[in-house]
Structure 1
Amino acid sequence: MGCLGNIIWLIFGGLVAALVWMLAGLIMCITIIGIPFGIQCFKIASFVLWPFGKEIEAGNFGIGGLFLNIIWIIFFGWEITLIHLLIGIVLCVTIIGIPFGIQHFKLAKLGFIPFGANIK
């Protein structure tokens, strides 16, 4: 199911979403201050590209990660999380969309607190 789910995910929006995350990462890396946020966008883009079969483990961040997560939440995180939650809820209305909705819930978790999250 993982490989088939990833292929369907890529065809129906996963590739576009990964490219958007990569573009956001490139834009954020223009300034020195934005580089840590751009790196997180690249990590999220790699997860968005092939999400089935991967899990997210949040936590394991120090004081620097906490500070960066707070800045992320204020400027980027809450909007991204809200969008992924709404898309996930809409997809979970149908039985066929439930696996894709679950992936959007994972993306919402990663989009809210990216610093210190491990993708397994």
Structure 2
Amino acid sequence: MKTILNLIWLVLSGFWLAIGYVVAGIICCILIITIPFGIASFRIAGYALWPFGRMAAERRDAGAGSLLGNVIWIVFAGWWLALTHLVTGIALCFTIIGIPLAVANFKLIPISLMPLGREIVPTDQPFVGR
């Protein structure tokens, strides 16, 4: 079931959302000082491309630096990425088959706003934290 949902997701919204994260990652890597944001953006691009069967978990070893980085991220890139998830999720709600995909889009909003201090883990393996 995860594979079918991921394939439908890829066609309807995953590809375009992943492109948005890749563009944000490239811009962040070009600016040198924001390379950690670029790495986080590329990590989320993979998650946005194939989300079912994985989840975002908070890292216990993330400190105040990730909190400060998340605030900077929200101001420069997070708000428009979250907005794309919101608009895409609302659009997917207009079809019956799109409702589970819309829920997945809404679940991606928090990680698009605050990507630092999180990691992507499979749902079938227990996450212990670091």
Task: Give the structure-1-normalised TM-score.
Answer: 0.87
Q: Once the two structures are superposed, what CA deviation does each residue of 1:88-114 show, in whole Å capped at 9, x if it has no partner?
A: 233234321111101211221110110
Question: Which has more strand, going by share of residues?
Answer: 2
Residue of structure 2 equivalent to 1:39: 39
In structure 1, list runs of 5 or more residues that go unmatched: none
Residue of structure 2 equivalent to 1:52: 52
1:88 and 1:101 in contact (8 A); partners too: yes
In structure 2, list runs of 5 or more residues that go unmatched: 122-130
Using a 3 Å threshold, how does the CA distance of structure 1 residues 85 and 12 change in structure 2: closer, same or farther?
closer
Using a 3 Å threshold, how does the CA distance of structure 1 residues 17 and 85 change in structure 2: closer, same or farther?
closer
Q: Once the two structures are superposed, what CA deviation does each residue of 1:57-103 show, in whole Å capped at 9, x if it has no partner?
A: 24633110011001011222122223312322332343211111012
Residue of structure 2 equivalent to 1:8: 8
1:51 positional shift: 0.7
The correspondence of residues 69-108 of structure 1 with structure 2, limited to 5 A, is 69-108=70-109
Task: Give the structure-2-normalised TM-score.
Answer: 0.81
1:24 and 1:76 map into 2 onto residues whose CA distance is 7
Using a 3 Å threshold, how does the CA distance of structure 1 residues 80 and 15 change in structure 2: closer, same or farther?
closer
1:58 and 1:113 in contact (8 A); partners too: no
Secondary structure of 1:29's match? helix
RMSD of equivalent CA atoms: 1.8
Segment of structure 1 superposing worse, 38-47 or 11-20? 11-20
1:43 and 1:104 map into 2 onto residues whose CA distance is 16
1:66 and 1:59 map into 2 onto residues whose CA distance is 12
2:91 and 2:12 map into 1 onto residues whose CA distance is 15
2:24 and 2:77 in contact (8 A); partners too: no
Instruction: Count residues in correspondence.
Output: 120
1:81 and 1:111 in contact (8 A); partners too: yes
1:88 and 1:59 map into 2 onto residues whose CA distance is 27
2:2 and 2:52 in contact (8 A); partners too: yes
